[in-house]
Chain A
Amino acid sequence: MTAETAAEEQSLNINRREFLNFAWLVSLGFLTMSFGGVTYLFSLPRFKEGEFGGIFTVGEVADLPQAGSAPANVPKVKLWLSNTENGLVALYKVCTHLGCLYNWSDQVTHFVCPCHGSEFQPDGTYIRGPAPRSLDRFVLRLETPDGQVLAETDATTGEPVQIPDNPDAIIRIDTGQRILGERHA
């Protein structure tokens, strides 16, 4: 480049080739982003909420453990059915900290997670430990054999459900409706 063209460069108008190159680069950029999107959508799994995510029939009221005693384990659906003093609650077995399955300890009569030591009350309330919130619950429904709903968990508060007097009442858990445990202070 000569001195004159160097000075002229600042006021050079965009020529056709430059414009075309620029357009090309931009479109290649878009193509790359599209490929990125394609790869992302390809890799993100879709899963049928068939098994987990559906409604499970767990049994009858007559099969429940006594109020205040150790909860019933429902391994297939990863949940604890805890019959507390205030009613029945279905707790998601996955600890709210990092995903380990917590256990019931008969020795201290509450839940203890083996991974980092978080502890929870029989109704899922956080006691201590690194978990950020209380245990998650599922919506629980108590129905008569013909389908009449006798009691159901409030989907917003997740409060324990009072068990009706009917020992034949069927317990159904809706694993698609998970109520997240509250964050503690």
Chain B
Amino acid sequence: MIKSLNFQDLRQKAMEAIDNRVRIITAGLGLQELRALMRGDPPTERPNPRYKVHTTSFLFHIRPRYYQRASTIFAHTFHLGFFTAFFFFVETFTGLILMVYYVPSPEGAYASILELMSNVPYGQMLRDMHRLGAEAMVIFSALHMLRTYLTGSYKGDRTFTWLTGVGLLGITLFLSFSGYLLPWDQLAYWAVTIGTSMAEAAPMVGNELNLLLRGAPDIGAGGLLRFYLGHVILLPLAAILLISVHYYKVAREHSISLPARFEEGNVSKDEEKDAKQRIDIIPDLLTHEIFLTVLGIFFLVIATAYFYHAPLETHANPQQTPLDTKAPWYFWWLQGMLKLGDKTLMGIIIPTIIVGLLVAVPYIDRNPHRSFFKRPIAVSLGILGVLVLVVLSYMGTPEYGIATPAATRILQDLAPEEGTGPLRAIPYDQLQQGVYEVNVTEADNLCPGLDFGCPELEAVFAEYGERVNEAMEDGRLPDAQAVLLIEEWQAGLKKITPRIVWSDPDTGETKTYERHIFLHQNRVGE
């Protein structure tokens, strides 16, 4: 028996066995077929085994077999949906890794983030990627929705997909918001306090809703844990469910839309045929998607290695709200609305109406056309909506509509309660000890004793003087006298005291306002 087996037979049998294994793993693609894929050759078997993968493989069953050429035109979709999904995966992956170190309790949260950044290789990078990815996901999902709206790709069969999309936008925003609280710094704590206070404004159920979200009347250990669980389990599960439904409908029911001109416009038969030509997912579009993924990862790596760093303010202090507290940027429109009026109306009722309108867009829009030019009302409303959003967002920033007393504003801009600001950015060595009086001490050559002088100190002192004089001239701080005091406090620690003294415009009594700022030489403006 053994003598009759020659080497050729063995080899053939081995190859067959390997080929079989490969087919099982790849859901039907043999070795030869794999090579054909790499070379860009047409399928080596009939029926096309590449198509079979989409029915046999669980992971691939959600992908369509092909897209029509025109739906892959860059300027049609800008690949926004793809990148939204890409960033979701980035967030999931980076999030899972960060979970190894994060501790969801008020005592441990902030310290665990410090530990992450000071004692974990790539800790800061992963945190930055997670933060940047979150912002990117919000931006891309909003842009994707805008694109879908402007190309009318919510009509007909795509109505339900649009609905799941609105749901996904909401989930994305809540994912971002719930994650915002987790560092447990001043920014996180107060932004989320304001946000959840809106829940309290809901009619009838407001109180219970507030308690459910926060786990107590104020945000504390209960609130942090609830937000954490929402952020890592509840919302991701909901997202995965909705993403699956959303994409399955795209892939298997109605596909990505074609630019409207191919469906409704006057295009030649040849052009139309070319537009509808099939491009297979395996291998062509898959290659393209892998390229896009690599591009995305490249930008994330470059951005977080050299440019972007997630902020971290001081430890959350439930007893003190810092000046210039603001919501995350994607909620500035809401904060802007809240400055306009009653919080139940502006915070609950109107946003609910907006969401309702978004959901109802496919039903309100009776126009069967998708072309830009045949839908002037829809398109103008869309652009108007975006403009309103931008204006409201500007109104949501602290600069708008909050009247901070003059002296407080000057010192807050000079040395903000949170963040660095111009004063803290002055290099330690330039902080020469002394008393610097505005309008008395000359603002140039403040430090003749130092080798390289103190240009930054001079610049800041000059600006300080300008601001005080400005306020004196327009009557906000009459008879203002301002001083900047720098003292050596401890080894490597200096105390800086800006102080403004003025006469109250109404009563004439002398008023004073000052801040005490301690700067250590090893501090680094983050």
Interface residues of A (CB under 8 A from B): 40, 43-45, 47, 52, 75, 78, 97-103, 105-108, 112-117, 119, 130, 132
Q: Given A100-B190, A108-B405, A114-B321, decide whether A130 and B338 contact each other with a Cβ distance below 8 A.
A: yes
With a cutoff of 8 Å between Cβ atoms, the chain A residues found around residue B211 in the complex are 44-45
Please name the residue on chain B nearest to A93 by beta carbon.
B319
CB neighbours (8 Å) of A98 from chain B are: 193-194, 197-198, 338, 343, 347
Shortest CB–CB separation between residue B256 and chain A, in angstroms? 37
Q: Min CB distance, B215 to chain A, in Å?
A: 5
Docked pose: A45 CA to B212 CA in angstroms: 7
- A182 smallest CB distance to B (angstroms): 15
Interface contact B320-A106, CB-CB below 8 Å: no
Q: Report the nearest A residue to B320, measured CB to CB.
A: A101
Docked pose: A138 CA to B194 CA in angstroms: 22
| B403 on interface, CB distance cutoff 8 Å | yes
Q: Which chain B residues lie closer than 8 Å to A40 at the CB level?
A: 212
Which residues of B from 140 to 196 have beta carbons under 8 Å from A? Answer: 190, 193-194, 196
Q: Mark B394-431, 1 if CB is under 8 A from A, else 0.
A: 00000001111111100000000000000000000000
**Is B321 a contact partner of A115 (Cβ separation < 8 A)?**
yes
CA separation between A166 and B319, bound complex, in Å?
32
Query: A96 → chain B, closest Cβ, in Å?
Result: 9
How far, in Å, is B108 (CB) from chain A's closest CB? 20
Q: Which of A99, A102, A107, A130 contacts B339 (CB 8 A)?
A: A130
Question: Is residue B222 within 8 Å, beta carbon to beta carbon, of the partner chain?
Answer: yes
Q: How far is the CA of A24 from the CA of B415 in the complex (A)?
A: 68
Residues of B contacting A75 in the complex (Cβ-Cβ under 8 angstroms): 319
| Whole-angstrom CA separation of A130 from B197 in the bound complex | 14
Measured in the bound complex, the distance between the Cα atoms of B346 and A116 in whole Å is 14
Alpha-carbon distance A97/B198, docked complex (angstroms): 9
| CB atoms of B338 and A99 under 8 A apart | no
| Contact B194 A115, beta carbon cutoff 8 Å | yes
Q: Among B321, B340, B511, find the residue whose CB has the most chain A CB atoms closer than 10 A.
A: B321
Question: In the assembled complex, which residues on chain A have CB atoms less than 8 Å from the CB atom of B404?
Answer: 112, 114, 117
Q: Is the CB of B343 within 8 A of A132?
A: yes
B112-120, B322-330, B354-362, B366-374 - the one binding chain A? B322-330
Write out the residue numbers on chain B whose beta carbons fall within 8 Å of the beta carbon of A100.
190, 193-194, 321, 325
New contact pairs (13) apart from A107-B406, A130-B341, A132-B342, CB-CB < 8 Å: A78-B319, A99-B200, A100-B190, A103-B321, A107-B408, A107-B513, A112-B403, A114-B322, A114-B325, A114-B404, A116-B339, A117-B401, A117-B402
Query: With an 8 A cutoff between CB atoms, is B349 at the interface?
Result: no
Which residues from chain B contact A113 at a C-beta distance below 8 Å?
321
User: Complex Cα distance A114/B404, Å?
Assistant: 8
Which A residues are CB-close (under 8 A) to B217? 47, 52
Does B208 contact A112, Cβ atoms closer than 8 Å?
Answer: no
B side interface size, CB within 8 A: 40
Min CB distance, B218 to chain A, in Å? 8
B481 an interface residue at 8 Å Cβ cutoff?
A: no
Cβ B324 vs Cβ A114 within 8 A: yes
B84 touches A (CB below 8 Å): no
List the A side residues contacting B335 at CB < 8 Å. 116
Inter-chain CA distance A171–B513, complex, in Å, is: 31
> Are A115 and B405 in contact (CB-based, < 8 A)?
no
Q: Is the CB of A44 within 8 A of B321?
A: no
Residues of B close to A107: CB separation below 8 A? 405-408, 504, 511, 513
Nearest CB of B to A169, in Å = 27
Contact present for B401 and A116 (CB under 8 Å): yes
Nearest B-chain residue to A76, judged by Cβ? B319
B388 located at the interface, meaning its Cβ lies under 8 Å from any Cβ of chain A in the complex? no
Q: Which of B347, B402, B407 has the most CB of A within 10 A?
A: B402
A174-B420 Cα distance, complex, nearest whole Å: 41
Cα–Cα distance between A113 and B404 once the two chains are bound (Å): 9
B233 at the interface (CB under 8 A from A): no
| A-B residue pairs in contact (CB < 8 Å), sample of 26 | A43-B212, A44-B212, A45-B215, A97-B197, A97-B343, A98-B194, A98-B198, A101-B320, A101-B321, A102-B321, A105-B405, A108-B405, A114-B322, A114-B324, A114-B325, A114-B402, A115-B190, A115-B321, A116-B401, A116-B402, A117-B402, A130-B338, A130-B339, A130-B343, A132-B342, A132-B343
- Chain B residues contacting A97 (CB-CB under 8 Å) are 197, 338, 343
Chain B residues, Cβ within 8 Å of A43: 212
Q: Once bound together, how far apart are the Cα atoms of A78 and B218, in whole Å? A: 11
Q: How far is the CB of A185 from chain B (nearest CB, A)?
A: 12
- Are B194 and A45 closer than 8 Å at their CB atoms? no
Contacts of A119 in B (CB 8 A): 403
The 5 nearest A-B residue pairs measured at CB? A117-B402, A99-B197, A107-B405, A98-B197, A100-B321
Nearest CB of chain A from residue B496's CB, rounded to whole Å: 21
By a CB distance below 8 angstroms, the chain A residues around B341 are 130
Once the chains bind, are A99 and B513 in contact (CB under 8 Å)?
Answer: no
Chain A residues, CB < 8 A from B342: 132
**Bound state CA distance, A40 and B198, in angstroms?**
20
Closest to B337 in A: A130
Contact among B194, B322, B323, B511 for A106, CB-based, below 8 A: B511
Contact of B325 among A78, A106, A108, A115 (CB under 8 A): A115
- A52–B405 CA distance with the chains assembled, in angstroms: 32
B194 near A99 with CB under 8 A, answer yes
The answer on a CB contact under 8 Å between B321 and A106 is: no
| Distance in angstroms between the alpha carbons of A117 and B347 in the assembled complex | 17
- Asked if B216 is at the interface (CB within 8 A of a chain A CB), the reply is yes
Nearest-CB distance from A134 to chain B (Å)? 15
Residues in chain A near residue B216, CB distance under 8 A: 45, 47
Bound Cα distance from A102 to B325, whole angstroms: 12
Chain A residues with CB under 8 A of B407: 107
